[in-house]
Amino acid sequence: MKPRQWLTVGVVAVATVAALNTVPATASRPYDPTTQSLATLGQRHGLHIGTAVNATALNDATDPQYRRLASTEFSSVTAENAMKWESLEPTRGTYNWAEADQLVEFAKRNRQSVRGHVLVWHNQLPTWLTSGVADGSISKQELRELLRKHITTVVNRYKGKIWQWDVVNEAVSDPWDTPSTLHYKGFWAQNLGPGYIADAFRWARAADPKALLFYNDYNIEAFGSGNPADDKTQFVYDMARDLLRQGVPIDGVGSQGHLGTQYGNFDTLQVTAALKRFAALGLATAFTEVDVRSQLTEAVQAGAANEINPRLQASAANFSVLMKACLAVRSCLSYTVWGFTDRYSWVPDWFNDPPEGLATIYDENYQPKRAYQELKSDLIVAGPPYVLPRSTPRPRR
């Protein structure tokens, strides 16, 4: 072939590839994926990129940047605290919906999906409830009825507006708890027994036939020994399998993804393997609260580059591992970060002995970090045959 013929073939091939990928390209301005948002890049895979939203930041008139990034970079939002029981019903019988409603409206305005968080958890319960149980003025029977009413009321209010509900959160103990053999832990298991989990899913389903119902937990990114006595992922897997066998309407398992750079953590293939095992049960998965914190040594706090750089790089690598694993499994429906900026991250408040931080994808001044760029590049370079568009599960009856 003469050079000119080669040229023609080349042009036709490029045009065909562009058409197949439906990539908008013009002669003058070639498509540049690096200028696109995470939300837009996720769309190509059918993958929602989400963030937890802090109600105070959202309402801070002096901080428009927060709202701008929350609305443009993400296609899914989660209330960081506004849908927790203590926020919704601080006084018995009086629901305060303002902040939760506001987030749902924000999502609607910005064409975002909502992950509802959370219906049943042992933390951030209203004091009237916990103290009532402690002093015996609320009986076990009444407690169960209060839980049923709470789930029904909340799910009903947002019926049709929530894509995924975290129905039950963090029900399983950790190896460092007492006893160290993994078990159902916390307020609800202690007072109602583990049967509350199946009940909660059934009550949630009765109130919203269309939401995807999730169990959500941390430290379940990969399988360990395979023994449910010490492997939390295995314990949760067995729990989900048993719930399905009993006909409980659970649709997915959320892996929170709170990691720290000081730990061993995982490679992409380990995490992919775990997601695939949950998928093989017929369950959707999602990363629901990803952040990767680091210890803030004195040198880090003093600005020493030789201590800060490895932390930022390790953080980026861990964000990327979870993203690549999620991309590789079609039923991993969404990847949500637990806050997108260090300015409002929960990490420094919660992990302060030793102090930890640097956990999110933007710094305190909204500068994107390496972690942000790596997530973006993962979304750009992924494609067939190993990365296929998301599946669309139907809610279990």
Interface with ligand XIL (CB under 6 A), residue from 51, 71, 112, 169: 169
CB-closest chain residue to ligand XIL: 346
Q: Minimum Å distance from CB 339 to ligand XIL?
A: 7
Contact between 289 and ligand XIL (CB under 6 A)? yes
Q: Minimum Å distance from CB 93 to ligand XIL?
A: 24
When the beta carbons of 60 and 307 are compared against ligand XIL, the nearer one is 60
Q: Minimum Å distance from CB 169 to ligand XIL?
A: 5
Which of the residues 170, 221, 356, 374 is marked catalytic?
170
CB atoms within 10 A of CB 110: 15
- How many residues belong to the site for ligand XIL (CB under 6 A)? 6
Rounded (5°) CA angle 89-95-97:
105
Contact between 360 and ligand XIL (CB under 6 A)? no
Tokens (6 digits) for 380? 């750009």
The residue behind tokens 């490679």 is 267
Contact between 81 and ligand XIL (CB under 6 A)? yes
- 5-to-2, 11, 212 alpha-carbon distances in Å: 5, 10, 54
When the beta carbons of 66 and 346 are compared against ligand XIL, the nearer one is 346
Q: Minimum Å distance from CB 347 to ligand XIL?
A: 9
Q: Is 170 a catalytic residue?
A: yes
Interface with ligand XIL (CB under 6 A), residue from 163, 346, 351, 362: 346
Total residues found in the chain within this entry? 397
Question: How far apart, in whole angstroms, are the C-alpha atoms of residue 151 and residue 119?
Answer: 6
Residues paired with residue 290 on neighbouring β-strands, in sequence order: 337
Q: Can you say whether the dihedral through the CA atoms of 304, 305, 310, 315 is positive or negative?
A: positive
CB 204 within 8 A of CB 83: no
Question: How far apart, in whole angstroms, are the C-alpha atoms of residue 41 and residue 47?
Answer: 9
Question: How far apart, in whole angstroms, are the C-alpha atoms of residue 125 and residue 37?
Answer: 36
Which of the residues 73, 80, 221, 289 is marked catalytic?
289
Q: Is 142 a catalytic residue?
A: no
Site for ligand XIL in 234-263 (CB under 6 A): 256
Binding mask 125-164 for ligand XIL (x = CB under 6 A): ----------------------------------------
Q: Minimum Å distance from CB 343 to ligand XIL?
A: 13
Site for ligand XIL in 304-333 (CB under 6 A): none
Question: How far apart, in whole angstroms, are the C-alpha atoms of residue 216 and residue 117?
Answer: 9
| 113 membership: H or E segment, kind and range | strand 113-120
When the beta carbons of 71 and 81 are compared against ligand XIL, the nearer one is 81
Q: Minimum Å distance from CB 266 to ligand XIL?
A: 19
Tokens (6 digits) for 30? 């070639």
226: left (phi over 0), alpha (psi -120 to 50) or beta: left
Name the site residues for ligand XIL (rule: CB under 6 A): 80-81, 169, 256, 289, 346
Q: Give the residue numbers annotated as catalytic, written as ranges.
A: 170, 289
